[in-house]
Amino acid sequence: MGMRRLFIIRKDLHLSAGKLGAMVAHCAEGYWIWLIRKNLTEENGRVHASFDLDREIYDDYLNGRITKTICEAKNLNKLLQARDMALELGLVENQDFGMINDACLTELTPEWVDENGEGRCTVGIWFKPLQDDVAHSISKKYQLYKD
């Protein structure tokens, strides 16, 4: 059984190609940023991260065997359904998956305000490398992202 990275991006935001690329890049980084932050130490002005990684994830990433799938959510509610499905599967938010929220500095309009008073827009969701059957149990409710 293979591994898959699943990213779901909102279609109703009508992202430009550049913005879409940036949001997918944020999704791809989401899991690794969480893993690094969770295992971070700082000493003498240097930052160090050390963590254990599942052998299958390690081998599949190094050998380019993890499939990446980008799906579209029609709107925010449909995107949040993916979060709900993940939770029902026992996945942990901000560990196994996470929401991507844009700072709205370029082409998006804020939909909510964060704890610092900054406008934000929820754009997508990332998932850590998942077994294909787990990823498919979520992605089957969505179509592949297309223009």
Segment 117-125 mean pLDDT? 97
Q: What is the pTM of this model?
A: 0.92
In sequence order, which residues have a C-beta less than 8 Å from that of residue 29 and are 6 or more positions away? none
The larger pLDDT score, comparing residue 65 to residue 113, is at: 113
> Of 2, 3, 5, 56, which is closest to residue 29 (Cα–Cα)?
5
Which tens digit of pLDDT belongs to each residue from 46-76?
A: 999 998 888 988 888 888 889 999 999 999 9
Does position 17 have pLDDT exceeding 90, yes or no? yes
Please state which of the four CATH numbers 2.30.30.360, 3.30.565.10, 3.40.1490.10, 3.40.50.720 is assigned to the domain occupying 3-144.
Answer: 3.40.1490.10
Give residue 22's region: left, alpha or beta (phi > 0; psi -120 to 50): alpha
Q: What pLDDT is stored for residue 60 in this prediction?
A: 87
Does position 1 have pLDDT exceeding 80, yes or no? no
